Amino acid sequence: MIKKLNKIFKIIQVIPRPDGGGAEKLVRELCLSLHKNNFDVTTIYFYNPSKIKLNKNEYCLNLLGPRDIRAVWYLRKMISNFAKKKKIIIHSHLTWPLYFLTIATYNIKTIDFYTEHNNYNYRRKFFFLKYIERLIYSRCYKIICNSNSTKNSLIRWLKNKHINQKIIVILNGARLFKIVKRKKINPKRLKLVSIGSLNKKKGFDVAIKAIAQVKNDIHKYTIIGEGSQKKKLLNLSRKLNIENKVFLTGYIKNIEPYLSNMDIGLIPSRWEGFGLVSVEMLSTGMPLICSNVPGLSEVVNKCLAVELVKSNNSVAITKGILKLIKKIKNQDTNVIVEHARKRAEKFDIQLFCDNYKNLYLDAISKFN
């Protein structure tokens, strides 16, 4: 059936870059899965700052960044060429693909999907954008939210009954790594790790301030990721005299060895739509300290291996570190590992990919 439909339909995923945080990982995993299931799928990126090797069905527009207005012209040219041969499903992710595709696909027949990856963004500070975004979102056939909190937040923002009917929830999935048999931690030589884009949302500046408060107990704090705040985070660690404790690795494709060799995962997000990295960390049996924010708390709440703390508060993170250490010391390590793994298994990537596959098939059958 899929082979027959592929002669008629093409799926195009659009996201600014192939590296970065959870959204980028998910799009790449989704496209691989769709390709293996014989869907005709292509992914388009605006730029590739880490020069990641792309697959045959991935294309980079080689622009200067996510806001490069030339994306409108390049996207329109590519989509127009594809549309000459097949009907087009376009799935956009994150702000600028959503905005640019509205213009780029003008007068081109497409079936539009958009995934809302966050329950907050800076656009919502500007009230007038509500009316512009109502027009943009109304073009979508379906709007997928990665958690219930993301859905509720979007509904509160747009306040439009017509758009509300298009919003559905598909929980994110994550790669599950090999479970690690963990030894008792040394509370005076702790190794902590965070993963994500280096931006304000992720709260790594707050985490660094917390590390400074317990620096004598920390062997190292590793942050894996790229982003605009890299220089700021390095300067902060120098200012707090913990530059010998804080390590920014940049983007790393294979994070599994880092998760296997660290004691505690730290997710200090100011806000979070889902918290993909929490699932990846938990899959190895790693205990976590997480901000108690909507979206992320949906994933990790009531898990024995997780200590939830107040967001945007370095003192709360410090107390969380000490509390988690005490919990680990008083609990059988194997029990912690087992609870972490069981929670991660609820968000297997294959279930996520299957849900999207069925969504596309439903759309294809209706529009065909």
The whole-number pLDDT of residue 3 equals 65
Q: Which residues in the chain come in under a pLDDT of 50?
A: none
The whole-number pLDDT of residue 69 equals 97
Residue with tokens 């080689």: 62
> What's the Rg (C-alpha) of the chain?
21
Please tell me the CATH superfamily of domain 190-347, with its number: Glycogen Phosphorylase B; (3.40.50.2000)
The whole-number pLDDT of residue 76 equals 98
At the second CATH level, the architecture of 2-173+348-367 is 3-Layer(aba) Sandwich (3.40)
**3-state helix, strand and coil shares in percent for the chain, rounded to the nearest 5:** 45, 20, 35
List all residues 6 or more positions away from 126 whose beta carbon is below 8 Å from its beta carbon: none
The whole-number pLDDT of residue 332 equals 85
The whole-number pLDDT of residue 365 equals 86
Task: Kindly report, residue by residue over 71-122, the tens digit of the pLDDT.
Answer: 999 999 999 999 999 999 999 999 999 999 999 999 999 999 999 998 888 8
The whole-number pLDDT of residue 1 equals 62
Backbone phi and psi for residue 224, each to the nearest 5 degrees, phi listed first: -105, 120
The whole-number pLDDT of residue 200 equals 93
- Asked if 48 and 18 touch (Cβ cutoff 8 Å), the reply is yes
The domain segmentation of the chain, as residue ranges, is 2-173+348-367, 190-347
Which is nearest to 303 in space by CA: 340, 270, 329, 275? Answer: 340
Q: Fold identical between 2-173+348-367 and 190-347?
A: yes
Task: Kindly report, residue by residue over 251-304, the tens digit of the pLDDT.
Answer: 888 899 999 899 999 999 999 988 889 999 999 999 999 999 998 998 998 899
Pairing type for strands 264-267 and 190-195 reads parallel
The whole-number pLDDT of residue 5 equals 67
